[in-house]
Chain A
């Protein structure tokens, strides 16, 4: 087998122990966090609290709970919610993960197309008006966090022009604003990184060589420069995409999208431990996979460095 390929496969299997460490650490963290799921505004009688704790096994020693969780986890059962007893974590993830994933993928598309596009344009002529212009636009996007941009866009398109629904995730129109709001911030990041990376590469010798050999400027720009500048961009993008497809608290709250992001933060705040663990597992699995993919891509772009 090709050594690069073999290494990539070995790396893929490394995901499993890493995932186990994440689950264990998260389990300990949520159990150490103050309060419990049955601390409610209306104080439960001690008996009721005892029964609830017993029902969910929270009265057992930590290790026993952990063992139980792991064994259920291996059987594909992520448990039920404490504060919303009608729901199991599996059910909720099945309902909400596709929504967040769709939003995340649209946002990634926005980020990539706009980010790479403006980055390349800016880098094509450094320190020109075009460069400063595009970079200024990118900075504006960074200065406008989603909790500002989202309400502004909703105000204009939802309330003043009455063109879109301000909540829900039902029609095609519902996808546009959230994807933009979520994606633009990352687009700006990617634009900055792309420009910087490309300028570094631009000065490298092989570009001069390519130019000397009479390659066309667009070809140099896109094939040689962009390709060689992709490393840091991929390194940044991999975890970012993992974050995007597993939901954004702010954007989902502003647009009332029934995704995981909102539930994840609420779970953290309200001691909804099983849900929190479930989402963390999902997120880390995607994150580890994205990082693996990123590493493979970086290796593929620069195989020599990787083998050494």
Chain B
């Protein structure tokens, strides 16, 4: 018996080893996807997750917009480095003294990818669709600077002709604004201002329907430098060069593949495996390894975004209702240590909500000072943290959020004697508890939609639904309202500074750091710029397979 059985075992083992070895060897040392893509002029990008949609009026996230800018083009396009508005579909524009009436002149050669000419009426149609209440577009309020847009969107105004968008003729578009908006040209390149093809939308009855599915490769019509060729959820979004794009001659890529890799470690592996040109991020523990070896692949750039915690300031939250306690929590953290040792991505410690930009340099209104924080806490009636019941810190599950939360928990315990319990949940439960204000302190983060402090500071105005801190300040609201009407940029920025001062000392939030974009990028990718809004135009990007060193950054 033993002889036969041991033969049996040997045979099974041998067969197993052979099968494994053969299959693996069959693949051999292969030509990597990047090498193939270099040859074919295809850019391989990780989009960091599945796009919500391809439809520019339904997209939600920054990652979604990375795909939509390849497929559509707005009135203006951003300069890839400075983000200044440059001519897109519009060749030129003028506005009146109060910056209330804008007239755009569209290029006559602009076409849709099916050959139809692109006319001013298409923009009117697109804006109407965006604002149609029944469509329920998440981002509709980006169009609210347009006259009567809000009224139409919330259903009080039924007649769209009263909204301030008008096609004077096929190549002239006039837009009336609600109030002076200095950054309106920048808004025009935001994904919410992208046009869609009216006949296609009508054909699919998609004016007010979210699930029409018009944006599948078979029926897709766009006006961008690329057209959609493949779209499979969880797999890939593939676009190829659009020969009918007005500037097609200047486009050097033949196509782009966006891979929705949500697992950050899998993404880094894919990059090293030669399956990606560009990643969407890099997990924090891996950053030092790339930075310390001066890896040619690592690129770290500041971005217009803020990572912070929101405090529930409602009365029933007891201690957290007291601004002194909140300020003490703010002051008892070493943010420099946090970014150096925990997040490790070259983030900038933040003491304000709004990140710096060319127009606006935020001023800090408190300093990190443990002794002063302890004193504040004692003044509030909680010496040594005594009397404060455990505070719950809620975050959505992710290694990165967890590390920050663990660090802060330890810091508050050590410096203030305050007990903090961590609680993590899945994203939907986290959002639900945020909307229902069912938290003590909750993780938050915000990327600016355009380069202006209002994209951050309006979040804390009383009429904003997003931040659920329960904090209200009439003075703050007054400054924000004032800034909205102000047409002098300098005075406007001063309004924001005043508002920010109130926000940061009353402290319904705990600013932690300004985000950075941390990506891995292969040296053969040229012309791929990073900027504050993390907007990428693929019109200037090309692949140079001979390049082995990264291109210098401006």
Q: Do A117 and B435 have beta carbons less than 8 Å apart? A: no
Q: Is B466 in contact with A43, judged by CB distance below 8 angstroms?
A: yes
- Closest-by-CB residue of B relative to A96 is B234
Give which listed residue, A47, A86, A114, contacts B55 with CB less than 8 A: A86
B466 near A47 with CB under 8 A, answer no
Q: Is the CB of B263 within 8 A of A270?
A: no
A157 to B137, CA, bound (A): 45
Tell whether A68 is near chain B: CB-to-CB under 8 Å.
Answer: no
Partner of B134, one of A51, A157, A167, A254: A51
Q: How far is the CB of A76 from chain B (nearest CB, A)?
A: 17
Contact A269 B426 (CB under 8 A): yes
Q: B137 contacts A48, CB within 8 Å?
A: yes
Complex CA distance for A221 and B33, rounded to whole angstroms: 49
A292 CB, nearest partner CB in chain B, Å: 31
The answer on a CB contact under 8 Å between A217 and B5 is yes
Are A176 and B20 closer than 8 Å at their CB atoms?
yes
Contact A162 B274, CB 8 Å, known A80-B211, A269-B427: yes
A303 at the interface (CB under 8 A from B): no
> Is the pair A218, B140 in contact by a Cβ cutoff of 8 Å?
no
Alpha-carbon distance between A164 and B20 when the two chains are bound, in angstroms: 13
Chain A minimum-CB-distance residue to B140: A48
Q: Is A204 engaged at the interface, CB distance under 8 Å to the other chain? A: no
Partner of A258, one of B28, B134, B232, B266: B232
Q: Does B154 contact A (CB under 8 A)?
A: yes
Is there a chain B Cβ closer than 8 Å to A88's Cβ? yes
Complex Cα–Cα for A151 and B266 (A): 8
Interface membership of A15, Cβ < 8 A: no
Give chain A interface residues in 159-204, CB to chain B under 8 Å: 159, 161-168, 171-173, 176, 180
Which of A6-14, A19-27, A33-41 is the interface stretch? A33-41
Residues 243-257 of A at the B interface (beta carbon under 8 Å) = 253-256
In contact, B432 and A86 (Cβ under 8 angstroms): no
Q: Is the CB of B154 within 8 A of A92?
A: no
Cross-chain contact A84 with B52 (CB below 8 angstroms): yes
Q: How far is the CA of A47 from the CA of B157 in the complex (A)?
A: 13
> What separation, in Å, do the CA atoms of A96 and B50 have in the docked complex?
15
Chain A 213-226 near chain B by CB (<8 Å), digits 1 or 0 = 00011100100000
Cβ contacts under 8 Å, A259 to chain B: 234
Check if B431 is an interface residue, CB within 8 A of chain A: yes
| Interface flag for B554 (CB, 8 Å) | no
A-contact 0/1 string along B247-277, CB 8 Å cutoff: 0000000000001011101100110111100
Of A43, A121, A221, chain B has the most CB atoms within 10 Å of the CB of A43
- Give the CA-CA distance A269 to B249 in the complex, in Å: 45
A31 at interface, CB cutoff 8 A? no
Q: What B residues does A113 contact at CB under 8 A?
A: 16
Contact-residue size bin, chain A (C-beta under 8 Å from the other chain): 35 or more
Judged by a CB distance under 8 angstroms, whether B135 is at the interface is yes
Q: Do A86 and B53 have beta carbons less than 8 Å apart?
A: yes
A40 touches B138 (CB 8 A): yes
**Residues in chain A near residue B427, CB distance under 8 A:** 269-270
| Residues of chain B lying within 8 A (CB to CB) of residue A217 | 1, 4-5
B141 close to A45 (CB less than 8 A): yes
CA gap between A47 and B16 in the complex, in Å? 62
Chain A residues whose CB sits within 8 angstroms of the CB of B140 once the complex forms: 45, 48
Interface check B54, CB cutoff 8 A: yes
Q: Is A46 an interface residue (CB 8 A)?
A: yes
A136, CB-defined interface residue at 8 Å:
no
Chain A 265-294, CB-CB to B under 8 Å as 1, else 0, gives: 010111100000000000000000000000
Contact A167 B1 (CB under 8 A): no
Q: Cβ of B266 and Cβ of A254 under 8 Å apart?
A: yes
* Contact assessment for B29 and A162 in the assembled complex, using a CB-CB cutoff below 8 Å: yes
Q: Is B289 an interface residue (CB 8 A)?
A: no
Which A residues are CB-close (under 8 A) to B1? 124-125, 217-218, 221
Residues on A with beta carbons closer than 8 Å to the beta carbon of B371: none
**Are A172 and B428 touching (Cβ within 8 A)?**
no
Assembled-state Cα–Cα distance A218/B25 (Å): 34
A306 at the interface (CB under 8 A from B): no
Q: Given A121-B8, A173-B24, A217-B4, A42–B269 Cβ distance below 8 Å?
A: no
What's the Cα separation between A67 and B55 when bound, in Å? Answer: 31
With A43-B466, A52-B210, A55-B210 as contacts: A166 and B5 at CB distance below 8 Å: no
Interface flag for A263 (CB, 8 Å): yes
Contact B24 A166 (CB under 8 A): no
B416-440 CB mask vs A (1 if < 8 Å, else 0) is 0000000000111101110100000
Cα–Cα, bound, A154→B270 (Å): 10
Evaluate whether A47 and B155 lie within 8 angstroms (CB atoms) in the complex, with A121-B9, A171-B27 already known.
Answer: yes
Of chain A, the residue at the smallest CB distance from B465 is: A43
Name the A residues within 8 Å of B274 (CB-CB): 162
Per-residue contact bits, chain A 137-173, to B (CB 8 Å; 1 contact, 0 not): 0000000000000010011011101111111100111
Contact with B along A110-144 (1 / 0, CB 8 A): 00011001101100110000100010000000000
Contact of A39 (CB < 8 Å), options: B20, B215, B234, B428? B428
The A78-123 residues at the B interface (CB cut-off 8 A) are 80-81, 83-88, 92, 95-96, 113-114, 117-118, 120-121
| A51 adjacent to B133 (CB under 8 Å) | yes
List A contacts of B139 (CB < 8 A): 42
7 contacts between A and B (CB under 8 A): A83-B52, A86-B213, A167-B261, A167-B273, A173-B23, A173-B30, A176-B20
Task: Mark B residues whose CB is within 8 Å of A.
Answer: 1-2, 4-6, 8-9, 12, 16, 20, 23-30, 32-33, 50-55, 58, 60, 133-141, 153-155, 209-211, 213, 215-216, 231-235, 259, 261-263, 265-266, 269-270, 272-275, 426-429, 431-433, 435, 465-466
Cβ-closest 8 pairs across A and B:
A35-B432, A217-B1, A173-B27, A258-B235, A124-B5, A85-B210, A269-B426, A52-B136
Chain A residues engaging chain B, CB cutoff 8 angstroms = 33-36, 38-49, 51-52, 55, 80-81, 83-88, 92, 95-96, 113-114, 117-118, 120-121, 124-125, 130, 134, 151, 154-155, 157-159, 161-168, 171-173, 176, 180, 216-218, 221, 253-256, 258-259, 262-263, 266, 268-271
Given A35-B428, A221-B5, A270-B427, output 12 extra A-B contacts at Cβ < 8 Å: A35-B429, A36-B432, A45-B140, A45-B154, A47-B154, A48-B138, A83-B52, A121-B5, A121-B8, A161-B29, A167-B269, A258-B234
